[in-house]
Structure 1
Amino acid sequence: MASGVLALDKLGPTGGRRTEQIMHAIRSAVDDGNMVAGELYSVYQLSEVLGVSRTPVRDALLVLEQIGLIKFERRQGFRILLPDPVDIAEIFDARLQLEVSAVRRAAVDASLPFLARLDAQMEQMLRAADAGESQSFALLDQDLHALILNEAGNKRIAEYVGSLRETTRLLGASTMQRTRSLRDVHEEHRPIIEAIRERDGDAAGRMMYEHLVATGRLLVAQAVDAQRSTADPERIWADVVIPSHVQL
């Protein structure tokens, strides 16, 4: 039997998809401590608390199970899971293989309108950082990477990396305001943008590689700490991420 007590607000009307709204409510509840890892929760109770039918709740939970945030317990309900360090390392391994080569391509023929869009995005990120708006900053960060990926000319890669970043977000894996300030994260992007401005593909690739490796290692270490594991995060990283796939 489910034992977790839920203290969530009912969902209001939405112009978007109900499933996504439920997913966001669950992720927010985990962030706020209203839903706890390891606790068993009832699908029926969740639908009652949120004021929605069980069908969209199950749909949302199926998506969250697929990415590793929850686990269904047969005839009992579901449990919140902590982010898996290996899953996070695998996500960054994929991003390294795709984003480093993409930024090289984007830099070589960087147009003036593209550079202007990057500058505008960096300015918006800076304003969000100074205002302490972490959620807005995270979305702007995601959009900055999407700008670069789309400029590289492969929509499938852009969409795939976007889905990887969304998975990371839903898992609650973020260094922002934990091990790095928003300003720190903003400044990490500056060398990437400057290399693109110089149309130096190799330098842009190196800067993107360093940025993703720094972020990935921190997130793996955070996940290990959250699990109170004795595993070595650097060993996990080294076992999953193969440096040889990036020609620096």
Structure 2
Amino acid sequence: MPELALPPDARNLADAVVRAVRDGVAAGELVPGTTYSVYQLADLLGVSRSPAREGLLRLAEAGLVEIHRNRGFRVLPPSVHDIEEIIGIRLALEPGAARRAAEHGTDEQHATIRSALDAMADAAARGDDARFWPADRLLHDLLLRASGRPRTAAIVERLRTTTALLGPPTTASGRTLLEIHAEHEPVVAAVLARDGAGAEAAMRAHLEATGGLLVSNLNGGRQP
């Protein structure tokens, strides 16, 4: 039986179900292609069937799950085309945001960005996936918000939940936690130095590397 948990800070039960399913896939608890019962999901999360169904309908509308009447639902992993599109969107948004965060972010915002990177480093050294990925998501979110783009931050977070359906990021991209942390270091170093061009280039390199590895692994190790 998969182990799932409702996030305590969700706005309502349907939102909590959406996040619990996404987190369950990212953690390897829900396996793409396997059919699960809606009743099983409701029981696992301790909610009634109504919010469970509503959450699944939202995921289905986003193309993240497929619902089979009277049978249940199954997770749909993103395709190569999906990943290429997602990385393309992120490349259009995040490198420029890193530049703005470097040039216009406040000292307080820069301090929180530094703290997020430190949390990633500590988790990577301990091999602690459960702490590493929230710190990773927080770092990207802080960079976007320091650029003055809160709507962009929300868009990127939704895109990241789709790529999370590929499974644990270390498995999906073929990199270790230490390697992924190392890709973020030049981004943060440039931001703290208020080097806009450097921050933009480092973020672009990180996203291009991530996208290339995800697509390569989906292609069975063949480069696109």
Give the letter aligned to residue 169 of structure 2: T
Match of 1:182? 177
TM-score, normalisation: structure 1: 0.75
Query: What's the secondary structure of 1:176's corresponding residue?
Result: helix
Q: What does 1:65-104 correspond to in 2, within 5 Å? A: 65-104=60-99
Residue 112 (structure 2) aligned to one of 106, 111, 117: 117
Check the 8 A contact 2:7/2:16 in 1, yes or no. no
Superposition pairs of residues 1-248 of structure 1, within 5 angstroms: 7-8=1-2, 16=10, 17-27=12-22, 30=25, 35-48=30-43, 50-169=45-164, 171-176=165-170, 179-225=174-220, 234=224
Cα distance in 2 for residues equivalent to 1:13 and 1:148: 24
Does structure 1 retain, via aligned residues, the 8 Å contact 2:95–2:201?
A: yes
**Kept after mapping to 1: 8 A contact 2:170/2:177:** yes
SS at match of 2:191: helix
Structure 2 counterpart SS, 1:52: coil
1:77 shift after superposition: 2.9
Percent of aligned positions with the same letter in both sequences? 38
Helix, strand or coil at the partner of 1:71: strand
Larger deviation, residues 152-161 vs 44-53: 44-53
How far the C-alpha of 1:172 sits from its partner, in A, is 3.7
Structure 1 residues 114 and 131, CA, compared in 2 at 3 Å: closer, same or farther? same
Closer/same/farther in 2, CA of residues 32 and 213 from structure 1, 3 Å limit: closer
- Which structure is larger by alpha-carbon Rg, 1 or 2? 1
Gaps (5+ residues) in structure 2? none
- Equivalents in 2 of 1:148, 1:107: separation in Å? 9
Pair 90,18 (structure 1): closer, same or farther in 2 beyond 3 Å: same
**Residues 1:233 and 1:42: Cα distance change in structure 2 (over 3 Å):** farther
Cα distance between partner residues in 1 of 2:108 and 2:27: 40
Summarize the Cα distance change of 1:160–1:84 in structure 2 as closer, same or farther, 3 Å threshold: same
Count how many residue pairs are aligned between Structure 1 and Structure 2: 222
- Unpaired stretches in structure 1, ≥5 consecutive residues: 1-6, 235-248
